Structure 1
């Protein structure tokens, strides 16, 4: 049953990723803003989810379904890496490095902020 719930949550996460990425990229253009927005919001949400689980607010099973299913499908490591490769192929080495390192640092900060926020409740 848990596997089915994870699969259903993943379907929702993939659809949400498509919608958010499309909305953001359509408005902001060439830079991979959509991927960045998805990954940062997913990192924040996962930090919050883990924190709420540690606080006993969210059950471990719910954390598994939402974290692995929805957020696992919502966030996108492969697209982030593809965006970095695409930028280097375009000769935009500085932007590629900024995308790689900036996304990594901001993602860790977003997850930490989510975890900290959960601890404040």
Structure 2
């Protein structure tokens, strides 16, 4: 058996940073943010329910808005607020991760198909994906443009 790495580019020793799998402060920030985001999503669902067989507008709006907000956040944490170590876990993974919902999106589609509303399901599927991608693209571009304009 070889004593060193088989591939000279690969070091199989465990990095000291990888020994502790989590940081309790970061986990706390994620948990607090997740509770806020999930509660907000729940309240939106209560205030804007989807009737059986209807187009799930509230979930669509939640997911598209959440994707737009994550676009803004990612530019800010990578370009402006680089020293804020809890901002991304709290707002990104926590609040926005708890607010947006891929699982409800998938269940909504399944229920629409099962309820013989395949056309609505297909429209919802496409609208959510396109809306989410456009929201991220638009907010990343707008945020970067605003930062560039402000730093002139």
* TM-score, scaled relative to structure 1: 0.90
Cα deviation code 1:66-97 (max 9, x no counterpart):
10011111100000000000110111111111
The structure with the greater share of residues assigned to helix is 1
Unaligned runs of 5+ in 2: 1-24, 147-152
Quote how far apart the aligned CAs of 1:60 are.
4.6
Quote how far apart the aligned CAs of 1:62 are.
0.5
Tell me, what secondary structure is at the counterpart of 2:80?
A: coil
Q: Is 1:21 paired with 2:45? A: yes
Among 53, 56, 59, which residue is 2:80 paired with? Answer: 56
Matches within 5 A, 1:76-87: 76-87=101-112
Unaligned runs of 5+ in 1: none
Tell me, what secondary structure is at the counterpart of 1:25?
A: coil
Query: Comparing 100-109 with 55-64, which one deviates more in the overlay?
Result: 55-64
Q: Is 1:117 paired with 2:132? A: no
**Separation in 2, partners of 1:79, 1:64:** 22
Q: Which residue of 1 aligns with 2:98?
A: 73
Kept in 1, the 8 Å contact 2:33–2:91? The answer is: yes
**Separation in 2, partners of 1:30, 1:60:** 41
* TM-score, scaled relative to structure 2: 0.73
Which of the pair has the greater relative contact order for Cα pairs under 8 Å at 6+ separation? Answer: 1
**Separation in 2, partners of 1:44, 1:37:** 10
Q: Considering only CA atoms, is the larger Rg found in Structure 1 or Structure 2?
A: 2
